[in-house]
Amino acid sequence: MSYRLIVGLGNPGSEYKQTRHNIGFQVLDNFASKQGASAWSKNRNLKGDLSVFVPELDAKIYLLKPLTFMNESGVSIQKVCSYYRIPPEEVVVVYDEINLGLGEVKVSTSGGPGGHNGLSDIASRIKPTFTRFRIGIGQKTPKEMSLADYVLGKFSKEDEILISAFMERYLDCLDRLIREGADKAMIHINRKPKTKDREDGQL
């Protein structure tokens, strides 16, 4: 099975840049740049920013950043899937995960939203058979802080440095997923990085 749509979740607007909830946007921006994808184009009908690239000897893959705000991410995804006739099984969604430590990545092809409103909305609008590419942002601290305040908060300077170090790992894992498919890629991706991995961001 090949993938035709890669989605990064986040909220539009400069005030949300560098927030934990926008790690999906951040990774997709870097992935588009690394792949030499087309410039981002705002599509008002499909309610998202779109880009496209063509892997070697393969069909084109669309990249999407929904502009419907996180809680209605599924609106844009549903429209894009319908317009380009892309089944849910050929969709990858990249998003933040509080139950994974910073720098960790996990891929799955099933599972509940785990309290993530963006995932809840997507699953309500298309079949929940899309592939989940979860990027760890760590547990909220202090525990008394509301989940909304935590995910909409910005990364600390120290965490930003770590995110930059881990970015190459995120991009390599996403590229591996696209090239190898979920079953094979998960063997390599779904492991915690070793100490050295955490320092230099490499697989």
Of 152, 75, 87, 89, which Cα lies nearest the Cα of 120?
75
Q: Is 29 left (phi over 0), alpha (psi -120 to 50) or beta?
A: alpha
Determine the Cα–Cα distance for residues 200 and 203; give it in Å rounded to an integer. Answer: 9
Neighbours of 82 (CB within 10 A): 11
Residue 192 is encoded by which pair of tokens? 């915690």
For residue 188, indicate whether it is catalytic: no
Length of the chain counted residue by residue: 203
Active-site hit among 4, 20, 21, 116: 21
d(CA 70, CA 163): 21
Listing DSSP states for 49-68 in one string gives EEEEE--TTS--EEEEEE-S
CA distance 53 to 143: 41
Residues designated catalytic: 21
